[in-house]
Structure 1
Amino acid sequence: MDTKKEEAVAYLGPKASYTHQAALSEFPESKYIISPQTTIEDIFAAVQSSTASHGVVPFENSSNGSVVFTLDLFADLHGRYPDISVCGEIYLQVHHCLLGHAAKSQGETATSEPAHGISTQPGNPRVKPLHDIKHIKKLYSHPQAWGQCKLFLAAYFKGIERQDVSSTSKAAELVAQNTTGSSAAISSRMAAGMNNLDVLAQGIEDNQGNSTRFFIIRRQQDVVAPDAQNASVEMADYKTLVSFTVEHGEPGALADCLAIFKKHKLNLTSINTRPSGETPWHYVFFIEFRGRKRADGAGGAVNEALQELEKVAKNGRWLGSWSNKLKE
């Protein structure tokens, strides 16, 4: 049996990151070359250059909102990634752990009181540490993780230094290399096993249902747009992402754009903004809605809406249509 792997899939590494776990759920290692990248931009660059056929990037978290690093790359202010398109989505349950080196004393039990001061933030963390954590003087994680664990951090690590790193799995690597044992990482249980770290606390996210949505990206020319077939399922079963700017000094410019989606009965599922880079306080708008773009000339509500949007918006760009994986 031929087991040759021909397509590479880029993801935010090192191994054991949540992006790695998301990538494996769609691209088994038995069929694909799973290629770790240092930054989200490295993933975009790998797909743009065709070094990788697909990329998996974090897009938004149910507790902490959009991943601005990814939005900025889709905004593509410098024209580096003109061919990038979304072709799929992945939802992954995210359960954060505090990883580090447990204190060496024997017979430890979990601390019952905050080790670094009492939180002034309303609400209490869902869990307590499994080990004494008084020796932890520095924390590492991806910036997105801090916002997902606010209650635990405020209760047990108030005033403790935090350092942003490229991924949660990189945070675990750095802690494993620290021989003093005075640092800890917010990362995954998988990362604990791969880096020989102790789980000092588990399930430290504020919301038990915490999950992250990842996008699968490809070059646009590699994405096959659907034709006019199966029109009856194009709305509920698919999503589309577009970006555009407007004349900010023109009253109602954004409202005119949004009215187009209402006219064509396209249900908006999210709106995001990022600085456009043109002038201060000028923005790129990202609109996600139900429905899919068909092949050129195939018609349909989405195609018609996008054609109208071109007439009232500036710098409009279709960023992809994909199958809706959200279970509602």
Structure 2
Amino acid sequence: ATKSAFPNQDEWELTPTTTIREVFDEVQASNVDFGVAPFENSTHGTVSFTLDCLADRLATYPNITICGEAYLDVHHFLLGRRKSPLLSNIDDEKSAKATPLTSLSHVKRVYSHPQAFGQTAKFFATYLKGVETIEVSSTSKAAELAAADATGSSAAVAGEVAGEMVGLDVLARCIEDREDNTTRFFVLRRRPCSSRSDDGVEQEFSLPEGLPWTTDRAESLLASEAASSSSARSGSPVSATSGSGNGDDATAEKADAYKGLYKSMVSFTVPHHTPGALADVLGCFKRRGLNLTSINSLPSLIAPFQYLFFVEFEGSRWDDPEGRVSGLVGDVEWVEGVAERWRWLGSWLNQRRR
């Protein structure tokens, strides 16, 4: 995922971390320029570790913001030590999917990340029922632990490369429940201390150019779509009532071009004893025509069974031709009324637009 977000490896030094929290630690401390962390999986849902760091309920990461996203197709392998030859029904080891390549009777325990276990539940229910599963911080750590077991009775769910690095055999390939198993990653950076203007309004900070998720990529997409649209209309008769210089038409076309181009996220709490408080907050988005794409929640730690909400929606705080997002942020009702403890978490280019 990091390599897809930063494809030019000559310009970037990649620094691996053991846990998701360490990614946030490194970004907050300015030890790195950017961090990449998994946010959600198409099969197993939100990555709780990342959501917990974004919640920042202990004020550990006050300056971290989301500035990009990347999607990665995820394939899981069962890795371990082979105790028997390939099964007789396996004609091509490389093409066999979601079925064991060899007997798994010697496997007594399997290590992996909780997300990986959640994405491979069908395989475990079919072939490893009753085997002990042990959750660890990462799939690479799982491979290391399986390799360290001299008895060969431990296995790991991880990527094939992780197995190659520690000398494990592939016991089964592509054991994920769904072929379209995909994980979305967030690109994180530290918000500069000088990101507010003299009048207190937060300003956009600069991003490098030439990356799949940065501003120049958005400009390229808009230009390409505009050229395609112009070409499609060139052979069509113009309506006598259309008015080529109509400003409203131009504004509408620009708004349509920006539809789904960006996403943003905010977090907030609501007064839990006020009927309809959450509905009132969501109504602020509806009144401004902002399309919600996801809602998550975590305990707020303010009081038991009260929650911090995360809302992701289409639109950008920095590139907002109709003023919908800026109107939301500047709304007195939003800031001082129905939403409490609200925090802006970032705007970024939507990598799966339409």
Question: Could you say whether these structures have the same fold, taking a TM-score greater than 0.5 normalized by the shorter chain as the test?
Answer: yes
Amino acid at match of 1:304: G
| Distance change (3 Å), C-alpha of 1:110 and 1:259 | farther
1:96–1:186 Cα contact (<8 Å) kept: yes
Given that residues 261 and 353 in structure 2 are in contact (C-alpha distance below 8 angstroms), is that contact kept between their aligned partners in structure 1?
no
Match of 1:201 in 2: 172
% same residue: 48
* Letter aligned with residue 326 of structure 2: N
Please point out which of 299, 303, 310 is paired with 2:326: 303
1:287 to 302, 311, 316: 311
C-alpha displacement of 1:321: 0.2
Q: Tell me which protein shows more strand as a share of its residues.
A: 1
Report the alpha carbon displacement of residue 26 of structure 1 after superposing the two structures with TM. 1.8
CA distance 1:136–1:250, shift in 2 (3 Å): same
Aligned to 1:317: 343
Per-residue deviation, residues 60-103 of structure 1 (Å, max 9, x unmatched): 00000001111111111110000010000000000100001111
In the aligned structure 2, how far is the partner of 1:30 from the partner of 1:301? 39
TM-score with structure 2 setting the length: 0.77
Q: 41, 65, 89: which one pairs with 2:21?
A: 41
Aligned equivalents of 1:194 and 1:169: distance in 2? 9
**2-structure distance, mates of 1:327, 1:318:** 22
TM-score, with normalisation over the residues of structure 1? 0.83
The alpha carbon displacement at 1:316 in A equals: 0.5
Q: Which structure 1 residue ranges, 5 or more long, are not aligned?
A: 1-21, 113-125
Contact 2:72/2:182 (CA < 8 Å) preserved in 1? yes
1:247-271 deviation per Cα after TM superposition (whole angstroms, max 9, x unaligned): 0000011111000111000000000
1:215 corresponds, among 177, 182, 186, to 186
In the alignment, residue 23 of structure 1 is paired with which amino acid? T
Would the aligned equivalents of 2:260 and 2:353 in 1 still touch at CA under 8 Å? no
* 1:15-26 equivalent positions in 2, closer than 5 A: 22-26=1-5
> For 1:207, what is the secondary structure of its paired residue?
coil
Structure 1 contact 294–300 (Cα < 8 Å) conserved: no
Tell me the equivalent position of 1:224. 205
Q: After superposition, where does 1:208-287 map in structure 2 within 5 Å?
A: 208-221=179-192, 224=205, 232=255, 233-287=257-311
1:134-159 C-alpha deviation (Å, 9 max, x unpaired): 10001000011111011001111112
Aligned equivalent of 2:47: 67
Correspondences of 1:47-196 after superposition (within 5 Å): 47-103=27-83, 105=84, 107-109=85-87, 127-196=98-167
Give 3-state SS (helix, strand or coil) of 1:194's partner: helix
Secondary structure, aligned partner of 1:56 = strand
Shift of 1:206: 0.5
Query: SS of the counterpart of 2:14?
Result: strand
In the alignment, what sits opposite 2:9? 29
In 1, Cα distance between equivalents of 2:39 and 2:131:
28
Deviation for aligned residue 1:307 = 2.1
User: Post-superposition, which runs of at least 4 consecutive aligned residues in structure 1 deviate over 4 A?
Assistant: none
Partner SS, residue 311 of structure 2: strand
Deviation for aligned residue 1:177: 1.7
| C-alpha deviation, 1:300, in angstroms | 1.2
Secondary structure at the residue paired with 2:15? strand
- Matched to 2:293, the amino acid is T
Cα separation, 1, equivalents of 2:39 and 2:88: 35
CA gap 1:110/1:307 in 2 versus in 1, 3 angstroms:
farther
Structure 1 SS opposite 2:274: coil
Larger Rg: 2
Aligned match of 1:10: none
Relative to 1, partners in 2 of residues 1:84 and 1:110: Cα closer, same or farther, differing over 3 Å?
Answer: farther
Q: Secondary structure at the match of 2:54?
A: helix
Give the Cα–Cα distance (whole angstroms) in 1 for the partners of residues 12 and 63 of structure 2.
22
Conservation of the 8 A alpha-carbon contact between 1:110 and 1:129: no
More helix by share: 2
Unaligned runs of 5+ in 2: 91-96, 196-203, 207-214, 223-253
Letter in 2 for 1:37: T
